[in-house]
């Protein structure tokens, strides 16, 4: 068992490496090719992934991301001709990843869009539209937007080519917030009765034009590098059941969810509702690691620091202590699965920051390092990087630990720095 003191000492020595901040990168750089298709909270920048992939793999090596999110790892692996597998429990993330990783011939996509726009032009008050009769859709959308969105979605469903259909559905998903009365500046599900929701056809057209440029750049880059056919697949499943053979993977690059931070299930409920991805929102929430809706299972924490954190939190708040303990137990299970799929000598690179809950330091990076060592990994390198302020995900409320608005002066910064834990399977 890795000792608490040894792990803490290991981290004390680590200094910030400025070359990993990518402070000179603009939004244009981080959203290049297909990366800007869809907003996604806490996504990492592609430059981190490409540097790791270049250093630890060669062409043809398999790369995996068990918490794939909107597909950053897979897109970067594809442009570097590395086959890749992504996993995410969130069907909305999987839709985005499919759209972002599938290069479509620009000469096929542009006419499909023209045809779609032509059909949208036929819409009028007399057009027969089957609008969804769902209490939550009525909660978020005004009748006019709801009707137009229903028409748009039904027209997209008629597109025969699967890749093109996913492309347009991804664009559709990204405009839903604008077209609803969801408070535009908020990541939390809050209604804004003053909001004037956008016209679905106008914002969709703008959205697709930008995506078409991204697809063309992606397609040309892949063609230039001979990577169009490079294998790339995403699965909607749990990170503890990765559909990859044992000892087959050269590199894992991932950024795990944080404990009780973003509730992805709530955040993406607009898309989930429109596409009828789930029946029950509360069951859906429970599938996410790091959710506030923790299970009561007694899991192995496999880390002295995790045990100490649980103990300290129990003095403050039992529910938070249980949530954090479940999180660390579940992450340990993910690391076991990572170990199974990695080749001997294969690396895992985990991007993670530390935080504070109920006044207790939550040393995610130190806990993960201890768990990985206990599971049979060696430390290859631990990088400490500054997160340039424009990329800061948010701030946390010091009392509750929940994400809050960056404008509030009383809130503390969430992750001014984070770590990249690079561990090798021995």
Ligand X SMILES: C[S@@+](CC[C@H](N)C(=O)[O-])C[C@H]1O[C@@H](n2cnc3c(N)ncnc32)[C@H](O)[C@@H]1O
The answer to whether 323 contacts ligand X (rule: CB under 6 A) is: no
Helix (H) or strand (E) holding 377: strand 377-386
Nearer to ligand X by Cβ, of 147 and 268: the residue is 268
Interface of this chain with ligand X, residues 182 to 201, rule: CB under 6 A: none
Interface of this chain with ligand X, residues 203 to 242, rule: CB under 6 A: 238-239
Nearer to ligand X by Cβ, of 93 and 349: the residue is 93
Give the interface segment with ligand X, choosing from 26-34, 36-44, 301-309, 315-323 (CB under 6 A): 36-44
Three-state DSSP class for 383? strand
Nearer to ligand X by Cβ, of 109 and 387: the residue is 387
Instruction: Please report how close the Cβ of residue 263 comes to ligand X at its closest, in angstroms.
Output: 10
The answer to whether 350 contacts ligand X (rule: CB under 6 A) is: no
Structure tokens at 64: 């995996």
Give the interface segment with ligand X, choosing from 51-59, 88-96, 145-153, 164-172 (CB under 6 A): 88-96
The answer to whether 43 contacts ligand X (rule: CB under 6 A) is: yes
Size of the site for ligand X (CB under 6 A): 22
Q: Which residues pair with 352 in a beta bridge?
A: 419
Task: Please pick, from the candidates 22, 56, 69, 170, the single residue that binds ligand X as defined by CB under 6 A.
Answer: 69
Q: Which residues pair with 360 in a beta bridge?
A: 357
Nearer to ligand X by Cβ, of 60 and 243: the residue is 243
The answer to whether 95 contacts ligand X (rule: CB under 6 A) is: no
Q: How far is CA 282 from CA 265, 266, 294, in A?
A: 9, 9, 12
The answer to whether 70 contacts ligand X (rule: CB under 6 A) is: yes
| Phi, psi for residue 255 in degrees, rounded to 5 | -130, 110
The answer to whether 86 contacts ligand X (rule: CB under 6 A) is: no
Task: Please pick, from the candidates 61, 76, 88, 418, the single residue that binds ligand X as defined by CB under 6 A.
Answer: 88
Question: Other C-beta atoms within 10 Å of 315: how many?
Answer: 11
Give the interface segment with ligand X, choosing from 64-72, 125-133, 364-372, 403-411 (CB under 6 A): 64-72
Interface of this chain with ligand X, residues 238 to 297, rule: CB under 6 A: 238-239, 255-257, 264, 287-289
Please name which of 299, 302, 356, 308 lies closest in space to residue 326, comparing C-alpha atoms.
Answer: 299
Question: Other C-beta atoms within 10 Å of 339: how many?
Answer: 20
Hey, what's the torsion of the CAs at 108, 211, 352, 82, to 10 degrees?
A: 20
Q: How far apart are CA 406 and CA 426, in angstroms?
A: 42
- Kindly calculate the radius of gyration of the chain based on its CA atoms and give it in whole angstroms: 22
Give the interface segment with ligand X, choosing from 20-28, 84-92, 186-194, 356-364 (CB under 6 A): 84-92
Nearer to ligand X by Cβ, of 6 and 283: the residue is 283
Helix/strand/coil (H/E/C) assignment for every residue in 335-361: HHHHHHHEEEEEEEEEEECCEEECCEE
Q: Which residues pair with 410 in a beta bridge?
A: none
Nearer to ligand X by Cβ, of 22 and 151: the residue is 22
Q: Which residues make Cβ contacts (< 8 Å) with residue 5, sequence separation at least 6? A: none
Task: Please pick, from the candidates 93, 109, 152, 349, the single residue that binds ligand X as defined by CB under 6 A.
Answer: 93
Given a contact cutoff of 8 angstroms between Cβ atoms, the answer to whether 411 and 404 are in contact is yes
Instruction: Please report how close the Cβ of residue 300 comes to ligand X at its closest, in angstroms.
Output: 17
The answer to whether 104 contacts ligand X (rule: CB under 6 A) is: no
Task: Please pick, from the candidates 37, 44, 140, 151, the single residue that binds ligand X as defined by CB under 6 A.
Answer: 44
Instruction: Please report how close the Cβ of residue 257 comes to ligand X at its closest, in angstroms.
Output: 4
Three-state DSSP class for 124? coil
Q: How far is CA 196 from CA 149, 162, 183, 208, 277, in A?
A: 16, 33, 10, 22, 27
Helices 200-225 and 162-179, packing angle to 10 deg: 140
| Phi, psi for residue 386 in degrees, rounded to 5 | -85, 140
The answer to whether 72 contacts ligand X (rule: CB under 6 A) is: yes
Cβ-proximal residue to ligand X, closest one = 69
Structure tokens at 353: 């920051």
| Phi, psi for residue 342 in degrees, rounded to 5 | -75, 145
Instruction: Please report how close the Cβ of residue 268 comes to ligand X at its closest, in angstroms.
Output: 8
Interface of this chain with ligand X, residues 3 to 32, rule: CB under 6 A: none
The answer to whether 38 contacts ligand X (rule: CB under 6 A) is: no
Q: β-pairing, 417-425 with 342-352?
A: antiparallel
Instruction: Please report how close the Cβ of residue 415 comes to ligand X at its closest, in angstroms.
Output: 11
Interface contacts to ligand X, rule CB under 6 A: 40, 42-44, 67, 69-70, 72, 87-90, 93, 238-239, 255-257, 264, 287-289
């Amino acid at each position: 068992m890795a000792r608490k003191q040894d792990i803490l000492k290991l981290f004390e020595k680590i200094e910030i490496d400025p070359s990993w901040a990518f402070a000179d990168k603009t939004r244009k750089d981080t959203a290049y090719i297909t990366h800007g298709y869809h907003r996604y909270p806490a996504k990492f920048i592609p430059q981190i992934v490409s540097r790791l992939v270049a250093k630890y793999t060669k062409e043809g090596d398999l790369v995996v991301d068990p918490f794939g999110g909107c597909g950053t790892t897979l897109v970067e692996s594809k442009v570097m001709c590395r086959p890749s597998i992504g996993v995410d429990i969130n069907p909305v993330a999987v839709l985005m990843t499919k759209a972002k990783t599938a290069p479509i011939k620009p000469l096929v996509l542009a006419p499909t869009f023209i045809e779609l726009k032509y059909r949208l032009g036929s819409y009028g008050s007399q057009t027969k539209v089957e609008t969804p009769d769902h209490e939550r859709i009525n909660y978020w959308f005004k009748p006019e937007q709801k009707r137009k969105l229903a028409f748009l979605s039904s027209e997209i469903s008629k597109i025969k080519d699967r890749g093109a259909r996913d492309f347009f559905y991804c664009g559709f998903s990204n405009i839903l917030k604008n077209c609803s009365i969801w408070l535009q500046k908020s990541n939390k599900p809050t209604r804004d009765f003053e909001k004037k929701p956008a016209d679905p056809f106008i914002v969709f057209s703008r959205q697709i034009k930008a995506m078409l440029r991204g697809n063309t750049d992606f397609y040309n880059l892949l063609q230039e590098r001979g990577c169009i056919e490079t294998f790339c697949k995403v699965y909607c499943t749990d990170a503890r059941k990765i559909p990859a053979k044992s000892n087959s993977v050269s590199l894992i690059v991932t950024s795990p969810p944080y404990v009780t931070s973003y509730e992805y299930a709530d955040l993406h409920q607009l898309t989930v509702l429109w596409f009828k991805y789930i029946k029950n929102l509360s069951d859906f929430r429970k599938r996410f690691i790091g959710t506030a809706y923790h299970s009561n299972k007694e899991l192995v924490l496999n880390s002295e620091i995790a045990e100490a954190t649980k103990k300290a939190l129990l003095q403050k708040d039992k529910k938070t202590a249980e949530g954090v303990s479940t999180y660390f137990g579940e992450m340990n299970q993910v690391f076991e699965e990572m170990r199974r799929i990695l080749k001997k000598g294969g690396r895992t690179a985990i991007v993670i920051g530390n935080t504070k809950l109920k006044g207790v330091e939550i040393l995610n990076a130190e806990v993960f390092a201890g768990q990985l060592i206990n599971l049979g990994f060696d430390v290859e390198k631990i990088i400490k990087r500054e997160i340039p302020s424009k990329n800061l995900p948010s701030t946390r409320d010091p009392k509750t630990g929940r994400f809050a608005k960056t404008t509030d002066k009383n809130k503390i910064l969430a992750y001014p720095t984070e770590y990249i834990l690079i561990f090798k399977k021995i």
